[in-house]
Amino acid sequence: MGDPHLKQVYDDMSSYFDAKRTKSYFYKLIEYLKRVIPPKSSILEIGSGTGGYCILLEKYGCKCKGIDYSEKMIEVSKTNNKMSKTNCIFKVADVEETIPFKEKFDFVISMDSWEFFPNPEKVMKNVRNVLKENTLFLIFTPNMLFALPIIIAEKLKIKKLSPAYAYFNSYKHRVKKWAKMNGFKLEKIDYIFHRMTIIFYLRKIGK
């Protein structure tokens, strides 16, 4: 199961998360996603937080659903969805245990949530079950080469939101190992935001 301590951290941050997030970073990721994901695609976001990515991708023309371990984050995402007049669906779920949707998606995305999973191999297994054949799981996560300065920035309260790291899941060799174990191929690696964020393209292989 997910980390209950982190669940509490994000419950506590839910009321001010949107106000304090780094807007330039958020919009850079949205523009990146628009270059990769065609309009009308079906998307599942795991660790969807307050729903910002789903809502803007829905406005772009996609059909988006999101799940998060934090009940408070899901409450805020539903409010944001209503205020934005979008049709996203958000549910509370522990992605290490289950994904509460029966349909299969064109894309699954993880936007800076991968580093918070105690058991990422279980996440990959469940994600694979809800992806269409030969489609992508996109993982956006802090580049491990920047771990030390980011952690220092958190300790000095320079970084706006924390924690950036709970589990050190984002090394290439670890992602590649878990991908192989769970029917994915690590197809591509990309970088954004001065290479501080690494993007893993995991292609579902087989049926």
95-118 pLDDT, tens digit per residue, is 999 999 999 999 999 999 999 999
What's the whole-number mean pLDDT along residues 147-176? 80
* DSSP bridge pairs for 185: 203
Are 46 and 55 a contacting pair, CB within 8 Å?
no
Are 111 and 45 a contacting pair, CB within 8 Å?
yes
Per-residue exposure over 18-36, b if at least 16 CB sit within 10 Å of its own CB, e if not: beebeeeeeeebbebbeee
Phi, psi dihedral angles at 111 (to 5 degrees)? -105, 95
pLDDT tens digits for range 169-193 = 899 999 999 999 999 999 999 999 9
Specify the pLDDT at position 161: 67
> Which two tokens mark 142?
């802090």
Are 100 and 67 a contacting pair, CB within 8 Å?
yes
Strand ranges (E), the chain: 42-46, 63-68, 89-92, 105-111, 131-142, 184-192, 197-204
Which domains does the chain possess?
4-204 (3.40.50.150)
Q: pLDDT grade, residue 162 (50/70/90)?
A: low
Are 39 and 62 a contacting pair, CB within 8 Å?
yes
Identity at 43, one-letter amino acid code = I
Phi, psi dihedral angles at 95 (to 5 degrees)? -65, -20
> Which two tokens mark 90?
């958000």
> Which two tokens mark 153?
């920035």
